[in-house]
Structure 1
């Protein structure tokens, strides 16, 4: 018999410090345009176009993962964390205006989620 503990929090106890933090998983696939760039050119693009956007929205944190050795669908996964979905929406809108979106990367899926809130 499994007994669930109930708490006054809508999330698991280990997530009570940030119950409203969203994690947005963005699955992308690199294009030939990105793969043909040298490392210096890739870094220049990130420093000139993507990082300035992130600096304008410090409430958004981004982590980058590369599953290409294990996946044929997504070559990269960007995980964004924020308590403010308007920050994500702003970043996403502005990212679409750069060569990131549909030039260097094909955006396959965007999945927003709350961490461990299945007891809600």
Structure 2
């Protein structure tokens, strides 16, 4: 790092727990998804995705639309958990839905830990 490097602060909810796993899932929507009406997309998410998160509350998810900025990934799902087995359960069950490889092509899964040690050296 040089003097021009800007370090971002650690999110307050992770200051005392650097072991929270942050998982970036880059996906590309398929024609199947794009051809669905908005109401059908919403219904799919409520009926298929939401119940998985209810069963594994140790895992949270946020959804980001990236299609205006990337030709590769149209969306980024940001998952957080402290329980890697809960994350694995989510992935296993996502594969059993139309989410995986029907409505979305999963391009990359990038697990990461927030760089607490960087902020600590300020």
Please state which band the TM-score falls in when normalised by the shorter chain.
0.7 to 0.9
**1:115 maps to which residue?**
114
Please, what TM-score do these two structures have when normalized by structure 2? 0.84
How many residues were matched structurally? Answer: 111
**1:40 maps to which residue?**
39
RMSD: 2.1
* Contact kept? 2:15, 2:116, Cα under 8 Å: no
Q: Structure 1, residues 15-36: CA drift from partner, whole Å, max 9, x if none?
A: 4322110000000000000000
Q: Structure 1, residues 4-62: CA drift from partner, whole Å, max 9, x if none?
A: xxxxxxxx7x6432211000000000000000000000011111111001100001110
User: Segments of 4+ in structure 1 off by > 3 A?
Assistant: none
Q: Structure 1, residues 48-102: CA drift from partner, whole Å, max 9, x if none?
A: 1110011000011100001110100000000000011111000000000000000
Q: 1:29 and 1:89 mapped to 2: Cα distance?
A: 21
Gaps of 5+ in 1: 3-11
Q: 1:84 and 1:97 mapped to 2: Cα distance?
A: 21
Please, what TM-score do these two structures have when normalized by structure 1? 0.85
